[in-house]
Structure 1
Amino acid sequence: MPVSNDPAPEKAAHTRRTVLKSTAAAAAGSVAAAHLPAGAVAAEPSHTIAGGEQVEITLSVNGQRRPVVVEPRVTLLDALRERLGLTGTKKGCDRGECGACTVLADGDRINACLTLAVMRQDAEITTVEGLARGEELHPVQAAFIRHDAFQCGACTPGQVVSAVACVAEGHTGSDAEIREWMSGNLCRCAAYQNIVAAVADAAKEARR
């Protein structure tokens, strides 16, 4: 059998995987370009922050602008507690189930453990430390004391902040409604009856 003197064919430059990747990337680029307005130019890729790189942001907390240096992956909860020293917001489950880390963002209650600090730069954050006016307690705080609505206190800051929002939202028409709208805040000591009574009392005072 004659032997060919031609050089062996070069090894394929692309594997099946790289071809599929490049095809998918090209398709994605085409789809994105198709959705751009007429005459618009696709933006350059934004700067990617390397893992571990820190950035300086400014958070508006309890009426004060507070600069803080964080990694982009740092949660609002950790920024408040570890960077700004606002330890009233408690770290309970750290996965959005217990409500101990509840704070207000532009008046809406959120779990601080489920949002990144860098995402909340434009929001007005209120923690439990920002509710009182000097020596004068917030009506909800005063109601919690009157009704003995806490025992160990681990969940109390989150309960109080959530109750402030519950009253402001008008979800206090009945005990059942209060229980429903406070259900995101768990109490290991099961002081729910007193918590509901405190929220109802604070709501009455707010309507005066």
Structure 2
Amino acid sequence: MLECKKEIACLKNNKSVEGEEVEMMRADNARLHERLVERERSLKLTQQRLHDVKKSLQKELAKQGEGGQDRRRSSSSKRTPRDHSAPAHPANPHNGVSPDEDPLPSFLAGKVSLDDPSLSEDQRDVVVKYLKHVVLRFLSCGQSEAQPLIKAISAVLHFTSEEEKLVREVMEYRVSWFSVRPSAKNVIKPSLRGKNSSRHTRR
């Protein structure tokens, strides 16, 4: 009889423990569901912001294109007649970008740089405004929105894979309690030495 009582007490104890575990699992499930909803909300917000960036960039490019055409028309009307057999805007033999083309695709692909002599003032202005727009978006948004923009900022600023990784690690370090501060020694210093050495060789 005593053994039966002990067994019943043990079963009750096990049942209470199992009940506590079930409650803990339910609480964890609720927390995970709340996180999932929050991430979906932030993802939709990030997608909307990226859509707004794209729309504003297209408007800016349209304005720049209209302004550039008006300036080219006014300047061409003031020029003296010349041989029409040659193209009015020869393309650069190295990157194929002419003054009439949209410079952003070639710039994002790394074919031209901001100081490329083939870029006209209008094209350079478009690239600078695009750079400023993306950088300001990146700096002003929150952590959850900044992560998807790292790829865009890396493409705009022509980051290497190591530099992009460093940016991601720094962003994660700023919101983590236990992560170690990432070191930029192996990422930044070699590139600076490379630039200095290239300057010396040019001299």
TM (normalized to structure 2)? 0.22
Higher helix share: 2
Higher strand share: 1
The higher-RCO structure (CA 8 Å, 6+ apart) is 1
| Structure of higher CA gyration radius | 2
TM (normalized to structure 1)? 0.21
